[in-house]
Structure 1
Amino acid sequence: MPLPPSSTLVFKVLFCALLATSVGQSVMLTTLPSMGREANLTEFHIATIMSSSAFIFAFGTNLWSKVAKRAGFKRILMVGLTGYSLGTFAFASAWMAGFSGLISGTNLFLALLISRSMQSTIMSATPPSAVGYAIAISTPETRVSAISKVTSASNVGQIIGPAYAGLLVSFGLLAPLYSIVLLTLLALTLVYFKLPDLPPLGAQKTSADLKRDEEAKTIVPYIFVAACICVFCAMAMMQQSLGFFFIDYYHFTPVDAAQQVGFAMMVSAATSLTVQFGWVQKGRISKETMITLALPLLALAYLLLFLQHSLTILYLAMALMGLGMGMAYPSLAAAATTFCAPGQQARITGLITATTAMGYIVGPPFAAFIYQINIAYPFAAASLLLAVTACMTFITLRHVKQSTNN
């Protein structure tokens, strides 16, 4: 049920809220390997921080999705932004204590792990409330576009974040992180004053409605959720490894490596944003076609990263990855929320918004492990994972098409 005249404003506010957190995540991922090396932490320390916080984020996202439906999307979105601001400040302060020599080694690792985990507990309220709001005001026909309008903030953040980090990192590795606190507080203020309240969706249902929802439940949306998890697991393996790869293969300094990672992520995000604004949001191709194109393209991009021996090929691979990601997430998310029963809506929305975190639970530690064997293996593993995911998703789409025709 679309909102009246203010729907354009709503999408802009939701976009800005996710943009602030996306810039923050992009800044963190860009600088984390370099900060780890600077503080004498290992790849496994960094992977554990990323994986543990992702596990908490995934669990929290599912929980907050249900809470948002009952308590209201705006209220829970504000909770998430507040948690992000406070958590980022605590996480950056733990790094500062490490760099200044106040704590080191295991104590520093534990301080970082605890502060990041606490941040994930509250900030995980942001994505499900924003995406849930977009789904609530869209129809099945406009859902891909609605989801893309909100989640394209992630791509813009991946363009702005690395450039932002590269600019501020010259003032110190922690300067970008501390400045993110101001951005998320500005987003919180915008949501408070400009985002209209939606009535909570937790209205009571009749027994007939509940019975109908139960009968209509299907496993199909969970397959698209699993595909999303695999997409982000592959990305997590790449992001965990790329900063260290620049240091160990191309022999960049930690600061230079952070800047190179930032540029690579900008290339990927730019192509992703182009395809979202050019194709996805205008509805020029169906979600099924986008899925069919995106997954093989991602598998090819990671294969090129594995085979590359020059920065030119590496950046070409990142550009192809952006094209695939620009189509993959909104189309898979739309497929999952379209092919589910009404009674599954809240759960599927929560799972879809948690897929990024779910991918980061397994991806970083696995990448850190195989990185010790060969520094290019994480890229090969990501390519193989996406190839298998493509096959699994194609079979599901074929089954859905046959069921519809029958």
Structure 2
Amino acid sequence: MISPSASTVVFKVLFCALLATSIGQSVMLTTLPSMGREANLSEFHIATIMSSSALIFAFGTNVWSKVAKRAGFKRILMVGLTGYSLGTFAFASAWMAGFSGFISGTNLFLALLISRSLQSTIMSATPPSAVGYAVAISSPQARVSAISKVTSASNVGQIVGPAYAGLLVGFGLLAPLYSIVLLTLLALTLVYFKLPVLPPLSQQKSAQQTSDNDQAPSKVPYVFVAACICVFCAMAMMQQSLGFFFIDFYHYSPIEAARQVGVAMMVSAAASLTAQFGWVQKGRISKETMIMLALPLLGVAYLLLFLQHALYLLYVAMALMGLGMGMAYPSLAAAATTYCAPSQQATITGLITATTAMGYVLGPPLAALIYQLDIALPFAVASALIAITTCIVYITLQKTHRHQNKFKTKP
């Protein structure tokens, strides 16, 4: 276990590393629909690129989580940041070839799909190594706060990213993507010089193995993992549809639609960051309470997106969504890693960091399909998905609570 002063430095470095990649993801999601329309690619082309790369990312995070346990979190974090930098450059260059007319149609689609998939293969090392590092140096009681300190970088990135993209998109749709390469290289440099080397998890746990083996694996953490997947699937459906919704419903141009998506995502991220810094990291509310506050908020937010017919209602929905997301991921992640047996720690950490990608495997193609029926229908389906998830998580928490009470009352 590292000292408190070193722990503060660690969380700052991990935050910066995930912030750089979060800004990159936010920039990509903000500009992707507009770039697709500019290059004459369909909604299904964009959805396929997103879901295919997400599928690879989901598998990659599970693999890299186990590798990080053996090789060390810092080394694998650096691998992920390097892959992100090189992959972003290749992905942006494929778009440039399409815009210049060098390639088009199916060839452009394949170039984008391959470059993005290769990027996902390596950049998927970043989240499990960063979150795994945070879990390794935190106690179970402080785990919600520790995970929030690291993952709040995602919310900051969602605030900075759209504004960053909106500022640079005037120089061309690809200017924001190319500039992300510099940000991730700076993060890589910071990790190399400032992040302490933590012994591989397998070495840290060697002294505890005898007592740990007595604790049987549990299926409960997988419920929280599945809930995270549903949360991000709903979010992916929203992000896949929102840019096209601005173009088709509000009749914005592709560049203006990218700016409007940026503003909407900034509103959501600001609310999410308020939730995380306001009470999640202070630890005044239990993870179970936060889960049961967050999921209904998300359901109401997506329902409001489905019903809205004016921009101000859309922004209210995005703010509610941000509040829900700010509490949902860190509390679900903490619940999954707390309720698991020590022998499951690496597997659950890998799965929980893969939930974003898993959600984006299913969400975009589903949204693209039902978008053809009704441009607001993806929001309604997302709301229904969250409602079902809320019921299942509530039942699981009640059963777990009764089981724990029964165990405590045994003589």
- Which 4+ runs in 1 deviate beyond 4 A? 204-208
Return the letter of the residue paired with 2:130. A
Instruction: Give the aligned partner of residue 53 of structure 1.
Output: 53
| Conserved? CA contact 1:214–1:343, under 8 Å | no
Q: Which moved more, 1:206-215 or 1:224-233?
A: 206-215
Are positions 1:148 and 2:148 aligned together? yes
Aligned residue-pair number: 406
Q: What is the aligned partner in structure 1 of residue 234 from structure 2? A: 234
Cα offset, 1:53, TM superposition: 0.1
Distance in 2 between residues matched to 1:95 and 1:394, nearest whole Å = 45
**One-letter code aligned to 1:236:** A
Q: Structure 2 CA distance, aligned partners of 1:169 and 1:287?
A: 39
Deviation track 1:302-331 (CA, whole Å, cap 9, x = no partner) reads 000000000000000000000000000000
Task: Determine the C-alpha separation between the residues in 1 that align with 2:131 and 2:181.
Answer: 22
Structure 2: state its 5+ residue gaps: 407-411
CA 1:36 to 1:214, structure 2 compared with 1: closer, same or farther past 3 Å?
A: farther
Match of 1:176 in 2: 176
- Distance, in Å, in 1 between the alignment partners of 2:157 and 2:288 is 26
- After TM superposition, list the pairs within 5 Å mapping 1:3-402 onto structure 2: 3-203=3-203, 209=209, 213=213, 215-402=215-402
1:201 offset after TM fit, Å?
1.4
Q: CA shift at 1:265, angstroms?
A: 0.1
Cα distance between partner residues in 2 of 1:385 and 1:205:
38
In structure 2, what is the Cα distance between the partners aligned to 1:399 and 1:168?
51
Inter-partner Cα distance in structure 2 for 1:37 and 1:231: 27
Whichever residue aligns with residue 26 of structure 2, its letter is: S
Q: Distance in 1 between matches of 2:134 and 2:343?
A: 18
CA deviation after TM superposition for structure 1 residue 213, in Å: 3.4
Going from structure 1 to structure 2, the CA distance change for 1:99 and 1:70 (only over 3 Å counts) comes to: same
Task: Output the TM-score relative to the length of structure 2.
Answer: 0.97
Residue 66 of structure 1 aligns to a residue whose secondary structure is: helix
Task: For residues 27-74 of structure 1, give each alpha carbon's deviation from its aligned partner in whole angstroms, at most 9, with x where no partner exists.
Answer: 000000000000000000000000000000000000000000100000
Aligned mates of 2:217, 2:43 — CA distance in 1? 42
How far apart are the structure 2 equivalents of 1:275 and 1:211?
37
Q: CA deviation at 1:403?
A: 1.0
With over 3 angstroms needed to count, the CA separation of the structure-2 counterparts of 1:208 and 1:28, relative to structure 1, is: closer
How far apart in 1 are the matches of 2:212 and 2:331?
26
Cα–Cα, structure 1 residues 138 and 206, in superposed 2: closer, same or farther, change >3 Å?
closer
Find the aligned partners of 1:212 and 1:193 in 2 and give their Cα distance: 34
Task: Specify every segment of 5 or more residues in structure 1 that has no aligned partner in the other structure, as ranges.
Answer: none
Structure 2 CA distance for aligned equivalents of residues 204 and 151 of structure 1 = 23
TM-score by length of 1: 0.98
- CA deviation string 1:271-304 (max 9, x = no partner): 0000100100001111000000000000000000
- Structure 1 vs Structure 2: percent identity of aligned residues? 81
The more displaced of 209-218 and 12-21 is 209-218
User: Offset of 1:205 from its aligned partner?
Assistant: 7.4
CA displacement at 1:80 relative to structure 2: 0.1
Alpha-carbon deviation of 1:214? 7.0
Give me the whole-angstrom Cα distance separating, in 2, the residues matched to 1:307 and 1:208. 53
Alpha-carbon distance in 1 for matches of 2:131, 2:209: 24
How far apart are the structure 2 equivalents of 1:167 and 1:154? 20
Distance (whole Å) between structure 2 residues aligned to residue 387 and residue 214 of structure 1: 37
Secondary structure (helix, strand or coil) at the match of 1:6 reads: helix
1:228 maps to a residue whose letter is: C
Q: Which residue of 1 aligns with 2:409?
A: none
Contact preservation (8 Å) 1:223, 1:396: yes
2-structure distance, mates of 1:206, 1:172: 53
Q: Give the whole-Å Cα distance in 1 for the aligned partners of 2:352 and 2:3.
A: 23
Maintained 8 Å contact 1:3/1:137: no
Gap change, CA 1:3 and 1:93, over 3 Å in 2: same
Report the aligned-residue RMSD. 1.4
Looking at structure 1, the residues matched to 227 and 210 of structure 2 have their Cα atoms a distance apart, in angstroms, of 28
CA distance in 2, matches of 1:190, 1:207: 32
SS state of the match for residue 217, structure 1?
coil
* 1:400 positional shift: 1.1
Pair 2,335 (structure 1): closer, same or farther in 2 beyond 3 Å: farther
